[in-house]
Amino acid sequence: MAAVTDAEFEAQVLKSDKPVLVDFWAEWCGPCRQVAPILDELNTEHGEKITFLKMNVDENPVTPSSYRVTGIPTINVYQGGEVVKSIVGAKPKAALLKELEGLI
């Protein structure tokens, strides 16, 4: 999955023509490491319908705070510049697919 920074967020996420899933994570976060391979699989399977990006919250503090990301992993889906779905915590693949139904 490609990374996105605070500086690129508006252009890559908010102005995207298709939905964008952003995984807010950090190096030290165990649950983030658990969910990363699941998101990689979903990216491989559904990457043509939705863009998958990840943002390191330690290196990019501005965007997470502006979207009130207080716990990680937080997965936000943006469409038309707005958050249309927010998933907090590590979830198994089946649960993520259910949450993302209609988007992918």
- 24 is written with which tokens? 């807010």
The answer to whether 59 and 5 are in contact (CB under 8 A) is yes
Distance CA 62, CA 24 (A): 12
Residues with catalytic roles: 29, 32
| Distance (Å) of CA 77 to CA 15, 45, 52 | 13, 17, 9
What is the distance between the alpha carbons of residues 54 and 76, in angstroms, rounded to a whole number?
Answer: 10
* DSSP-assigned beta bridge partners for residue 21: 52, 77
